[in-house]
Amino acid sequence: MRPCSPLTQPLAPSRRKCLSGSAVSLVCSQECGESARAPRVLGGRPAAIEAWPWQVSLQYRKEHICGGSILDTSWILTAAHCFKNNPVVQSWRVKAGSRLLSGTATLAVEKVFLAEAAPASPKDNDIALVKLRSPLHLSGETRKPVCLPYFDEELHPGAPLWVTGWGYTREHGKLSETLQEAKVKLIDTRSCNLAAYHGDVTEKMLCAGLPQGGVDTCQGDSGGPLLYLHDRWQVVGIVSWGQGCGTPSTPGVYTSVQAYLNWIYTVPELQRGPRSCPPFRQRCAHESQGGRATFLRNRSGRKCFQEDGYSGTKNHF
- How many CB atoms neighbour CB 276 within 10 A? 11
Q: What mean pLDDT, rounded, does the chain reach?
A: 76
Across residues 132-150, what is the average pLDDT? 93
The beta-strand segments (E) located in the chain are 24-29, 45-46, 55-60, 63-72, 75-78, 92-96, 107-114, 128-132, 160-165, 180-187, 205-209, 225-230, 232-241, 252-256, 281-283, 292-297, 305-307, 310-312
For the chain, how big is the Rg over CA atoms in Å? Answer: 18
- pLDDT per position as a tens digit, 209-253: 987 666 657 777 899 999 999 889 999 999 999 877 766 778 999
- Specify if 80 maps to a domain: no
Percent residues over pLDDT 90 in the chain? 52
- Specify if 19 maps to a domain: no
Angle at 77 between CA 144 and CA 51, to 5 degrees: 35
- pLDDT per position as a tens digit, 78-129: 999 999 999 999 999 999 999 999 998 889 999 999 998 888 888 899 999 9
The one-letter amino acid at 11: L
- Specify if 102 maps to a domain: no
- Give the strands of the sheet with 24-29, arranged side by side: 24-29, 292-297, 281-283
Of residues 120 and 131, which shows the higher confidence score? 131
- Would residue 300 show up in a list of annotated catalytic residues for this protein? no
- Specify if 59 maps to a domain: no
The one-letter amino acid at 210: L
DSSP 8-state secondary structure symbol assigned to residue 4: P
The one-letter amino acid at 242: G
156, pLDDT greater than 70: yes
Q: What are phi and psi of 190, to 5 degrees?
A: -60, -50
Catalytic residue among 124, 126, 216, 221: 126
- Would residue 188 show up in a list of annotated catalytic residues for this protein? no
> Can you give the pLDDT at residue 112?
96
- Specify if 16 maps to a domain: no
Q: What are phi and psi of 36, to 5 degrees?
A: -80, -5
Domains: count for the chain: 1
| Closest-CA residue to 186 (of 203, 201, 202, 207) | 207
Catalytic residue among 222, 240, 256, 311: 222
Going from the C-alpha of 59 to that of each of 68, 89, 91, 180, the distances in angstroms are 11, 11, 8, 17
- pLDDT per position as a tens digit, 281-302: 433 333 323 333 333 322 222 3
Residue 44: pLDDT band (50, 70, 90) is low
- pLDDT per position as a tens digit, 247-277: 677 899 999 999 999 999 888 555 454 333 3
Across residues 58-80, what is the average pLDDT? 96
Residue 195: pLDDT band (50, 70, 90) is confident
Percent residues over pLDDT 70 in the chain? 69
Lowest-confidence pick of 49-63, 166-180, 205-219 = 205-219
Distance CA(212)–CA(173), nearest Å, equals: 20
> pTM of the entire structure?
0.77
- Specify if 314 maps to a domain: no
Catalytic residue among 29, 64, 72, 81: 81
- Specify if 239 maps to a domain: yes
Angle at 294 between CA 293 and CA 300, to 5 degrees: 125
| Closest-CA residue to 48 (of 139, 142, 176, 145) | 142
> Can you give the pLDDT at residue 190?
94
Of residues 31 and 308, which shows the higher confidence score? 31
- Specify if 23 maps to a domain: no
13, pLDDT greater than 50: no
CATH number at residue 235: 2.40.10.10
8, pLDDT greater than 90: no
Domain encompassing residue 224: 147-259
- Would residue 81 show up in a list of annotated catalytic residues for this protein? yes
Going from the C-alpha of 38 to that of each of 50, 156, 231, 302, the distances in angstroms are 11, 22, 12, 41
